[in-house]
Amino acid sequence: MDLPSDLPRPASRHWRVTGWLLAAVWLFFLNIPLLAALHQPEVWRRVVGAVTLLAFGVLYVGVFQWARGQRQQHRGIPAGHAWAAVALLLALGLAGIPGTGGDWLTTLVFVAAAAVFLLPNRQALVVVALAALTPPVTAALVPGWEAEGTVVFAVLLASFAMFGVTRLAQRNSELQAAQQEIRRLAVAEERARTARDLHDILGHSLTVVAVKAELAGRLLDLDPDRAATEIADVERLARQALADVRGTVGAYRGMSLAGELAGARSALAAAGIAAELPDAAPELPAERDELFGWTVREGVTNVVRHSGARRCEIRVEPGLVEIRDDGRGPAAETGSDGHGLVGLRERARRLDATVTVGRRADGPGFLLRVALPMDRGTGEREE
């Protein structure tokens, strides 16, 4: 079963094993205190040193893996848990002093690295500074302990390296989150586009089918030949709608202004609405031709379905397309845009075009206009 795209996918077994190895490989540097513990003359010191170092190594790897999992799941690391882990590592290092002696200072390298991986930058910097100062301070205070310059260098180097690892892990986590968001938005956009296209296609086609079927029913007794013609048109429109739906699903459906003008002429005639349409569509760029085609389809669908008009005029220019009628229009009934007009506005926005919907200013009726900016059209001013 596939996981939802917005959920983090579990890491493969290969990467889980790799993560454990990356954490455990650094434990090699605990060989110095371990050898010191194994060479202790008293058995109890050997036991204390070996057991505390073993517990230290297990805890370090476990903490590293836990924090790594938190980052992969895009979760924060609780401050209390982080400080508890650092304190417990330090306590185990100190507990091993009877067996490891001054070589316990090697564990500070791991304490500093864990602090950088777990804590915020300022807090981690304080821990790293204390870990780096501890070897010279303890050498001055405890007889027999030598100042380990290599430990100081190792603390600083390990902290710097872990800082780089932490930043890399953070960037990878952010990148994964961004990729998941992009996938989610792409799916949402595709669903919205498909829903918009299906609405526009079926809304227009089924409206014309309903009008022609109603007309055929009225003409069945009065004019059987005309009724048969209308029924044939219903069949043709149904097949065309089916082809459009298949084209939408297959992402290869096209839209043209010329085709929509021809369909508008047929739809308006079947609805008994006098039509004034241009004889031919102008030559337009592909994107503009498609936008104007959608405009004609949406406008004529609303005229046939909602307006109650007796006359409809379609005007097309290189920079705009208008559909005017003398009816009441959908705004008077619903008071808001339908799904088709919402989809049309989204398409127009891609070409910086403006959509005007509302009552005509020059008389009774309804107007739908889509106009491109002057630099996208012919440069002529809109009326």
Which of these ranges, 109-113, 167-171, 243-247, 334-338, has the smallest mean pLDDT?
334-338
Going across the sheet that includes 354-359, the strands are: 274-276, 311-317, 320-325, 366-371, 354-359
Q: Name the percent of the chain lying above pLDDT 90.
A: 13
Q: Which residue has the higher pLDDT, 105 or 375?
A: 105
With helix as H, strand as E and coil as C, how does 248-292 read? HHHCCCCCCHHHHHHHHHHHHHHCCCEEECCCCCCCCCHHHHHHH
CA dihedral 337, 338, 341, 346 (to 10 degrees): 90
**pLDDT, tens digit (0-9, with 9 covering 90-100), for 241-295:** 776 766 665 544 567 888 888 888 888 887 888 989 988 888 888 889 989 998 9
**Residues 103-128: what's their mean pLDDT?**
88
What CATH class is the domain 256-383? alpha beta
Please give the average per-residue pLDDT across 357-368, as a whole number: 85
The tally of CA atoms less than 13 A away on the side-chain side of residue 181 is 7
pLDDT higher than 80, residue 52: yes
Instruction: Parse the chain into domains and list their residue ranges.
Output: 13-183, 256-383
Q: Can you give the pLDDT at residue 382?
A: 42
Q: What is the DSSP letter of 304?
A: I
Q: How confident is the model over 132-166, as pLDDT tens digits?
A: 888 888 877 777 666 566 888 888 888 887 787 77
Least confident of 1-10, 108-117, 129-138, 198-207: 1-10
| Dihedral in degrees, nearest 10, Cα atoms 174, 175, 178, 183 | -140
Of 55 and 159, the one with more pLDDT = 55
pTM above 0.85, yes or no: no
CA distance 144 to 138: 10
Q: Is residue 95 predicted with pLDDT exceeding 50?
A: yes
- Report the distance separating Cα 211 and Cα 179, nearest Å: 48
Over its C-alpha atoms, the chain yields an Rg (Å, rounded) of: 38
Q: What is the mean pLDDT of residues 160-175?
A: 75
Most confident of 19-28, 37-46, 172-181: 37-46
Q: Of 304, 306, 332, 319, which is closest to residue 369 (Cα–Cα)?
A: 319
